[in-house]
Structure 1
Amino acid sequence: MNVGIYDPYLHILGGAERYILNIACCLSQDHKIILFSDNAKLLLEAEKKFGLKLGQIEVRTWPKDRSARQHELKEFDQFFYVTDGSLFFSPAKQNLLIIQSPDHIPANNLTNKIKFLSWRKIICYSEFMAEIIKKRLGKTAHTLFVPVAQTQNLHTAKENLLISVGRFFPHLHNKKQKEMVGILRALLKQETIKVKLCLVGSVDPDGDAYFKQVTEETAGLPVEILIKASAQTLNALLDRAKIYWHATGYGEDLVKHPERAEHFGVSTIEAMAHGAVPIVFPAGGQLEIVNNGQNGFWWRTPQELIKYTLELLQNDKLREKLAQAAQKSSANYSEDKFCEKLHEILKS
């Protein structure tokens, strides 16, 4: 079977792009996969960054001309499109629309209602997103979580290392690295303790100014920023980290702007798989991943984040208990279960 995949954001190689590449990997075991991209070296870059095996996937240039695109898409038995908010008619036999965030939901107008006739299924990352899609479009979306590789190295000695993973950008669901640095500063003023914060993530094309602000904010603090970390480097950091910090959605009006919450939170699950206890801002998809007091903590104010961080750093028994629960929870998001769920959706 021929399967086509188009993600207009693929060049970013963020968490959403890893998601679509996981779909490609899963289906490539039994089908021919065509990935549309203008970057011929994209698969090599993705393999290095995400540690995925993409050698069986073919890369083609996305046809800009509508008639050429229609001709190309006719050859596919299945076609996945990660929408940027736009829709088009697709002549593929089965069309699946992936909606990443509230900001990417196509407008519910007459033109799009007609175009939707060619799209058989909608897929999203979380129940948080599925509910918003239902409200805006009146359509039921299939929830397919973002998969996480299960770590085999569970015996690395943990350090007083806090880690947060996310791209540096000022818009949409900003990862709040600047705010986290400020909270670390407040923590160190309150308590004399040896601790380090590591921020890992690439810088978006329009994120240079924000990245500079974050860097300036770290002056005099035990903060390390890694913007080109390989999968191997990130995994080694997660093995050593005691705590995972998450702050997306903090300080935002999430009723008015739900797109500013975490749409899912794959980095949180990755950290949990490595035994880092998550302390997360409870909004969006994070509510589906972290159960407060059972496999991590929720925080709503900086003082709560400081409180829970100090508790975990100063109480190894509590931290180890939550770390074990976090690792167990992360197994629900394995790559094998992801493939099983994907096949269920395709057959339904």
Structure 2
Amino acid sequence: MLKQKGVSFVPISFAKPRKTQSVHTLPFSLPKFDKYQRLLVKISASKVKPKVFLNLSGVPIPLSSIAPHLVYAGAPAISSLPSKYKGIWKLYLLPFYLYLPALKREASRIEIIANSNLSAEAISEVYGIPKPKVIYPPVDVEKFELAYKCKERDDMFITVGRIERGKMLENAVNLSARTGISGIIVGSLIEKDYLERLLKLARETGAKVKILYDLPQNELVKLMGKAKVYFHPTIGEHFGIPVVEAMAAGLTPLVPVKSGAYEIVPKELGYSTIDEASTKLKDLMKVDMKEKVHEISKGFSSSVFKEKMWEHLSKYL
């Protein structure tokens, strides 16, 4: 969007990126502790004086004394939404709680745009500000539309998500075990021990589930042309881009009621429990909603996102 509009920009990060140039503080790449880096990027940002900060980390770090500050955000990690940070893991988020007063002050004097209504409500809750406006994320719907033309589909569901515990992929395994319907889980491998837990669960429950990791995107598109339903397992997910990708491919989505994705699908396609999802999955194998959901997906193209985001950003330039 910035390039198309002729706007010069410089990426800012705390650690040195692997593939791009940026203003950074740490002279090497640091793939871990991403939550902390979202706070520490303030050190790097203080080195520049732009016309506006476009903050895509989602954290309203204090920058508005330098230049106008526009934040595009999902739900804060310390909101009341379901989280992978449970028990002792909550200590990982301690810096956010300690720094919260400063984040609240910044949030009260800048513009924040949320990636869903669910996120907007969580942002309002955590920072004590009015509910922000919403712009849904951009999705490469054109690429996934290639699978839309596939007519012969199997009684099968697909789930897409990084293979890490926060994605709650065990819900997909349990869904297959309860219904006897085959499923495929596709995602980048982040936690090997979690993958082993999923495979063990599949063996113990008799689930007919395949787990494919680090699959090229063109292979994922081909797979989507073979399935009838997309099952989203992550309760509390801020949005869920794979849901839109699947709709573009002609799959009927089945999503948690407690998720940003529920805002954009027909309301009969939400579930609150795995038992409810099991009943609906069986029914959806007999229903063709390809055209309806495909039409919905067109509203989430990159061009739509760029137009809406530029409307907010351009007033600062």
Please tell me whether the aligned partners of residues 159 and 240 of structure 1 are also in contact (alpha carbons under 8 angstroms). yes
Match status 1:234 vs 2:220: yes
* Structure 1 position 335, deviation (Å): 1.1
Over the matched positions of the two proteins, sequence identity in percent amounts to 23
Pairs within 5 Å for 1:52-201: 59-64=21-26, 69=44, 72-74=47-49, 76-83=50-57, 87-89=61-63, 92-103=66-77, 110-116=101-107, 120-140=110-130, 141-151=132-142, 152-153=145-146, 154-157=148-151, 158-170=153-165, 174-188=166-180, 195-201=181-187
The residue aligned with 1:341 is 308
**Residue identity opposite 1:262 in structure 2:** E
Q: 1:230 to 1:36 in 2, by over 3 A?
A: farther
Q: Partner of 2:247: helix, strand, or coil? A: helix
What corresponds to 2:256 in structure 1?
Answer: 281
SS at 1:97 equivalent? strand
Relative distance call for 1:138 and 1:67 in structure 2 (3 A) is closer
Once the two structures are TM-superposed, the CA of residue 299 in structure 1 deviates from its matched residue by 2.0
Q: How many residues in Structure 1 have an aligned counterpart in Structure 2?
A: 276
Aligned residue number for residue 7 of structure 2: 31
Cα distance 1:123–1:240, how it changes in 2: closer, same or farther (>3 A)?
same
Segments of 5+ residues of structure 2 without an aligned counterpart are 27-39, 80-95
Q: Normalising by structure 1, what TM-score?
A: 0.70
The one-letter code matched in structure 2 to 1:169 is E
Q: 1:227 to 1:91 in 2, by over 3 A?
A: farther
Instruction: Give me the whole-angstrom Cα distance separating, in 2, the residues matched to 1:187 and 1:334.
Output: 34
TM-align CA RMSD: 2.8
The answer (yes or no) to whether the contact 2:228–2:252 under 8 Å persists in 1 is: yes
After TM superposition, give the deviation of residue 222 of structure 1 in Å: 3.2
1-structure distance, mates of 2:17, 2:101: 37
SS for the counterpart of 2:225 is helix
3-state secondary structure, aligned to 1:132: helix
Residue deviations 1:226-245, cap 9 Å, x none? 22122212222222221001
Displacement of 1:346 in angstroms is: 1.6
Q: Which runs of 4+ in 1 moved over 6 A?
A: 65-68
- Partners of 2:12 and 2:45 in 1: how far apart? 14
Q: Which runs of 5+ in 1 are unaligned?
A: 1-25, 43-57, 189-194, 250-260
* TM-score, normalising length: structure 2: 0.76
Give the Cα separation in 2 of the matches to 1:131 and 1:214: 32
